[in-house]
Amino acid sequence: MIENLMLAVSLTVSPGGLSVNGALAKIREARRAGDTSVAAVKVKGVNRVTSPVVFTAEDHDIDFTGEPGAMISGGVEIRGWKDAGGGVWEAPAPKTPAGDTMFFDQLWVNGRRAGCARLPSKGWLAMTAAAQSAAPAGAPAKYVETVSFGDPEVKRLADVPKEDYPYLEIGVICKWSYGLRTLGAYDASRNEMKMFTDYEWRPWKTWRTNDTLFAFFNVRSAFDEPGEWFLDMKAGKVRYRPLAGERPDSAEFVAPFSGDGVVVKFHADWRNGESVGDIRFSGVSFAHGAAKTTGNRPVQINQHQAAIDMDGLISLEGARNIVFDGCSISRTAGYGMRFHSACRSNRVVNCRIEDLGAGGIFMGADFKRGEKLTGITRKVLPPSRPDSVSFNVISNCVITRGGRYNPEGTGVCIAHCSDTAVVHNDIYDFYYTGVSIGWIWGFAGSVAQRNDIGFNRIWDLGKGVMSDMGGVYSLGTSFGTRVHDNVIHDVKSYSYGGWALYCDEGSEGIIEERNVCWNTTDGGFHQHYGTGCLIRNNIFAFNRMLGAVRMARKVVQGVPCTLHFVNNIVYGDSGPLVGAGVRGVGGVWANNLWYDARGVDRAEFDGLDWHGWTKCGKESGGAFADPRFVDAKNFDFRLKADSPAVKLGFVPFDYSGAGANLDR
């Protein structure tokens, strides 16, 4: 008898009614009793959870449909606000399950990510010196980091009581990486601070004055701006300075509940052949994910790349045929979504993924499969292994406002994935890279084959804060991977490395074509080292430093580096057209159109003038001429009918269809 269990076919989840976990329990009960129908679950209102909703291999054939305003939230509302005087409101801080004051470092007020009391209130601080040494006996960690500052504003730390030190967070940007520490000691007379960590600096991540920036968060003495908040752990209070028009009796305050930031989790034991799949979400919002904490203390973030150690608000492992269509994913500490090992044939379409602590979507097996193949180079690994992440689609999504907690976050990271499409998306407003693919450093074995990165609009990256990033960034052997028909612009680095297309270490076998790239700190294209990549029929315009096209290394791991650069248009008005090192790298360079708006006598090609470039033997059939864009100054790179590029073999293309159409 399963008459009552057939309710699983049609259920409604709502606040005060049936919970998401309650709906899953009913569906599972019906499945065990023999009901194989597709379960339809309607989601209403804001449904708050204090632990992840977990889907397992037992769950399948479920459709979740959200009504307007439907949300699954990992947030806890903070209530009981009172006017504490001096333009400050105050409320009791949430408690952990153990009854302690809950530490949190994000707060949303009326849906807005409110700024924690910050020093400086805007921007970042440079240092004058930094060093790491072994920590003394009895210290809380292996190493002590000592940093000196010249900026007198840092001396406001002298007014911070020592009991605040464990809760005062210090963000450290070093090139492409980010660390988060707490204050160990501060000496105002030397304007010097100490922090403790178990993380040992690596040579390429050593803090240096020209590429390291700092900011301090939850600083009692910097709690002075409207819209800011401060968590007083000693008093067990949250304090807030309201914006004009806000009222304590009507404002909504939401903090993410202490945990690992995951609100919805799909988990199957794929090592034993299990999968969780055939589940669809339409029109449902997901929000409010925490950073990792111990419950009542912050946890350090160590320097990596692309916030690789952070999970997603939605976390998937062993997932098949999961669909998110027309959903909203926002207000996170980590990624919006994280696809771990053994995720195949999943789709994220027509979604808005925004207000992100780190990045939008991180997809890929959890261990570096190629790097485990010691001594094997340039090997293509099959996509059929049990842990493979493959045949997934991210399409027609808006992915924006990232890096608000960890600036390393990438718009989309396709790491250790094959046969995955990232197409027709808008990806913008990040401090680091737009799309990252590959993730094997050097000529090692790789599974990252046949990925399709096309028709995306990618812009407003770096923001002059981080370094060494690209609109599309690649690593490793990637045969069959195509980067095409993208519009990439405004990539601004802090010290170096603001590229549009960036083939980093070991990039191999990638085709990059019909991309339009402009306004980059360094160049439209850069290859650190790689071989066999084909860059053709692209437009690169308005680089500022190092060269519109640049390559660095000649032979790596015994592999001669090459690059094929054919039928491209390169247009500049500052800096070299070709940066240093190109002549030492093999490959075919042919029929490219070069133009420097300052005149041919100002054009530079790997240290040569135009005459020297034409005689050096690097390129055949190229020309120096105005490409005749419709309006280059206003970034309209359509070609007029008499463009000399066409005579060289350049094929005009329509790039107006790039990007998502959710808001059009």
Contact 434, 308 (CB under 8 A): no
Check whether residue 480 and residue 342 sit in a common domain. Answer: yes
Amino acid identity, position 449: Q
% of the chain residues with pLDDT over 90: 84
Residue 336 in tokens = 């919006």
Check whether residue 572 and residue 519 sit in a common domain. Answer: yes
Range name among 220-224, 258-262, 367-371, 528-532 with the lowest pLDDT average:
367-371
Residue 12 in tokens = 């409604």
| Beta partners for residue 196, in sequence order | 144
Check whether residue 159 and residue 242 sit in a common domain. Answer: no
Match 């404002």 to its residue by tokens. 251
The dihedral region occupied by 5, where left means phi > 0, alpha psi between -120 and 50, and beta the remainder, is alpha
Q: Tell me how far apart the alpha carbons of residues 172 and 183 are, in angstroms, rounded to a whole number.
A: 12
Residues 395-417 have pLDDT tens digits of: 999 999 999 999 999 999 999 89
Q: Tell me how far apart the alpha carbons of residues 471 and 458 are, in angstroms, rounded to a whole number.
A: 6
Distance of CA 442 to the CA centre of its chain: 22
Query: Which of 413, 422, 391, 398 lies closest to 319 in space, CA to CA?
Result: 391
The string of DSSP letters for 252-316 reads -EEEEPSBSS-SEEEE--GGGT--EEEEEEES-EEE--PPBB-SSSB--B---STTTT--EEEEE
Q: Which of 256, 279, 308 is the last residue of a domain?
A: 256
pLDDT given at position 663: 65
Query: Is residue 383 over pLDDT 80?
Result: no
Residues 219-243 have pLDDT tens digits of: 999 999 999 999 999 999 999 999 9
Residue 373 in tokens = 């193949």
Q: What is the mean pLDDT of residues 265-275?
A: 96
Mean pLDDT of the chain: 93
Amino acid identity, position 237: K
Alpha helices in 459-615 (DSSP H): 610-615
Contact 465, 497 (CB under 8 A): no
Q: Is the dihedral of CA 24, 29, 32, 38 positive or negative?
A: negative
Residues 566-586 have pLDDT tens digits of: 999 999 999 899 998 899 899
Contact 67, 41 (CB under 8 A): no
Query: Is residue 393 over pLDDT 50?
Result: yes
Residue 274 in tokens = 């299990």
Is residue 64 included in any domain, yes or no?
no
Residue 212 in tokens = 């390291």
pLDDT given at position 531: 94
Is residue 464 included in any domain, yes or no?
yes
pLDDT given at position 546: 77
Check whether residue 231 and residue 92 sit in a common domain. Answer: yes
pLDDT given at position 439: 87
Give the number of other Cβ atoms within 10 Å of residue 192's Cβ.
17
Is residue 664 included in any domain, yes or no?
no
Please count the structural domains in the chain: 3
Check whether residue 295 and residue 177 sit in a common domain. Answer: no
Amino acid identity, position 60: H
Amino acid identity, position 82: K
Residue 174 maps to which CATH number? 2.40.30
Query: What range defines the domain where residue 343 resides?
Result: 264-606
Check whether residue 522 and residue 593 sit in a common domain. Answer: yes
Is residue 323 included in any domain, yes or no?
yes
What lies within 8 Å, CB to CB, of 647 at 6+ separation is: none
pLDDT given at position 378: 67
- Buried b / exposed e along 99-123 (16+ C-beta atoms within 10 A): ebbbbbbbbbbeeebbbbbbbbeee
pLDDT given at position 376: 52
In degrees and rounded to multiples of 5, residue 270 shows phi and psi of -65, -25
| Beta partners for residue 12, in sequence order | 42
Check whether residue 132 and residue 166 sit in a common domain. Answer: yes
Check whether residue 297 and residue 155 sit in a common domain. Answer: no
Q: Is the dihedral of CA 376, 380, 382, 385 positive or negative?
A: positive
Residue 500 in tokens = 């549009």
Residues 489-535 have pLDDT tens digits of: 999 999 999 999 999 999 999 999 999 999 999 989 999 999 999 99
pLDDT given at position 377: 63
Check whether residue 365 and residue 243 sit in a common domain. Answer: no
In degrees and rounded to multiples of 5, residue 588 shows phi and psi of -95, 125
Helix (H) or strand (E) segment spanning residue 22: helix 20-32
Query: Is residue 558 over pLDDT 50?
Result: yes
Is residue 155 included in any domain, yes or no?
yes
DSSP secondary-structure letter at 663? T
Residues 438-496 have pLDDT tens digits of: 988 888 878 899 999 999 999 999 999 999 999 999 999 999 999 999 999 999 999 99
Contact 284, 329 (CB under 8 A): no
Is residue 341 included in any domain, yes or no?
yes
What lies within 8 Å, CB to CB, of 187 at 6+ separation is: 193
Check whether residue 232 and residue 91 sit in a common domain. Answer: yes
Check whether residue 443 and residue 502 sit in a common domain. Answer: yes
pLDDT given at position 664: 47
Residue 597 in tokens = 């708006």
Residues 67-90 have pLDDT tens digits of: 999 999 999 999 999 999 999 999
92-to-95, 232, 235, 239, 312 alpha-carbon distances in Å: 9, 10, 9, 9, 28
Helix (H) or strand (E) segment spanning residue 427: strand 426-430
Query: Is residue 547 over pLDDT 90?
Result: no
Band of pLDDT at residue 551, cut at 50, 70 and 90: confident
Give the number of other Cβ atoms within 10 Å of residue 86's Cβ.
7
Contact 172, 181 (CB under 8 A): yes
Give the number of other Cβ atoms within 10 Å of residue 218's Cβ.
25
Residues 20-38 have pLDDT tens digits of: 999 999 999 999 999 889 9
Residue 106 in tokens = 């994000």
Check whether residue 129 and residue 173 sit in a common domain. Answer: yes
What lies within 8 Å, CB to CB, of 414 at 6+ separation is: 363, 364, 420, 422, 435, 436, 437, 438, 448, 451, 453
pLDDT given at position 368: 54
Residue 507 maps to which CATH number? 2.160.20
Query: Is residue 329 over pLDDT 70?
Result: yes
Q: What is the mean pLDDT of residues 636-661?
A: 97
Q: Are strands 192-197 and 185-187 parallel, antiparallel or unpaired?
A: antiparallel
The dihedral region occupied by 86, where left means phi > 0, alpha psi between -120 and 50, and beta the remainder, is left
Query: Which of 268, 242, 424 lies closest to 344 in space, CA to CA?
Result: 268
Is residue 52 included in any domain, yes or no?
no
Residues 116-130 have pLDDT tens digits of: 999 999 999 999 999
Band of pLDDT at residue 5, cut at 50, 70 and 90: very low
Query: Is residue 372 over pLDDT 70?
Result: no
Q: Tell me how far apart the alpha carbons of residues 173 and 170 are, in angstroms, rounded to a whole number.
A: 10
Is residue 308 included in any domain, yes or no?
yes
Query: Is residue 1 over pLDDT 50?
Result: no
Map residue 327 onto helix, strand or coil. Answer: coil
